[in-house]
Amino acid sequence: MGLLHQVISLQDREMGTNTLLLGMDGKNEMLKKTESGPSGGIHVQQLNGKKAESNIEGTAWKVRVTSVQDRGVKQAQIMQNELVVRFKRDLTEAEIAQYSRDIGGSLLRKNSRHTYLFSFGIAPSEAISYFKQKDAVLAEQHVKLHPNTAAVESRRAVEQPNDMYYGSNQWNLPLISADKGWQVTTGDPNVIIAVVDTGVDLNHPEFKGQLVEGRNMLTGTNKPQDDNGHGTHVAGVIAARTNNLEGIAGIDWAGKIMPVKAMDADGSGSVLDIADGIIWAADHGADVINLSLGEYAGSDYLHDAIRYAYDKGAVVIAAMGNDGIDDPSYPAAYEEVIAVAANDEQKETASFSNFGPHTSVSAPGVAIPSTYPNNRYAALSGTSMASPHVAGVAALIRSINPALSPAEVRSIIQNTADDLGPEGHDEYYGYGQINVANAIKAAVDSKAK
């Protein structure tokens, strides 16, 4: 059985009712077996004093390859008999034909930067060895990545601005001193935050005026419409339209979201599409790139894409993963990436959050309210929800001082975090929980130097 996750709809705008959206790797009749189960099962919540009801059928999205019972069993979803190969130059038609014959396969597609996806009919190690003998710069098996969303847990209330759910549901923003930071800046429309994910609901009212042109890497078009929900939720945490008497408040009120769809309706995406989405975002002016996704198999192709974006000045942020283990997941474990763990309202590490020496910072990631497709709002949990908090802070820092390098932005975020757990850097919180107000002050000070 796949890992269950729960989506709490804060309001169904069409029906005007509170609803509970349920989804899993399987069928909804499995819910009865897990409602009272251990951590990772379904937790029914109360909204406005009423018990929520299930209102959708089927699968919402796949969360991880591993199940709750098998936490610690780390398997990459390797695409069988597919190999990613990059050369120093484009291949000729004759070379493609010869290579295909030699490995008993065919060319599946050609990507950017002299990169090819081949099928093969020999042992994987033999195929990799073959291409290395042909002076390939890179040859590795094709891997799929998944969103880092976990089971929802309980949450409480807070206050301010005038958005409908800010005061009653968004406990996460005052916890990181976003309200104090907004006294200095609410962002800059020239700052672009790319969300490489399942796309964004382009018609949601909270994104009116908040988007720049994006890309659908799956279809090769400029229509990154979300057919899953994960990307819409992530984007709302970062920059939902704020102070509009509607829905929720985003961390960055003025920054623009660049939706890059690299994951399908099932919530999975190939390394090729995700890496190419990162490259596309960097080439089109992304100042910050959020990656609420991951897997335990490293990929040189993905790492190269992240280095490319980093070298072009993009701050890259990724979720740590939701298996509650200390094994590195990627892309979070790459050195250019700000790796984000999740904590709850009590500033305790979330039960599902991965940890390890590469943890940079932590951020709220339990029952986080945000936008959801079809004009709805939902609360999700996971390091997927923690990561966009940091992306929002990075965007606010860039709004103050756009000249800061990715390394300098990272330094500000880490040095201004609220130290939690053991003194100094630790495996669970990194340098601590992010503090928006402190980070903005440090950005202001950096501009004065």
Residues assigned a catalytic role: 197, 230, 384
* Strands 46-47 and 50-51, sheet pairing: antiparallel
3-state DSSP assignment of residue 65: coil
Q: How many other CB atoms sit within 10 Å of the CB of residue 14?
A: 9
Rounded-to-integer distance, Cα 98 and Cα 163, Å:
61
206 φ, ψ (degrees, to nearest 5)? -75, -10
Q: Could you give phi then psi for residue 372, rounded to 5 degrees? A: -150, 150
β 269-270/215-216 pair status: unpaired
What is the end-to-end Cα distance of the chain in Å, rounded?
55
26 vs 202: CA distance, rounded Å: 28
Structure tokens at 249: 């408040």
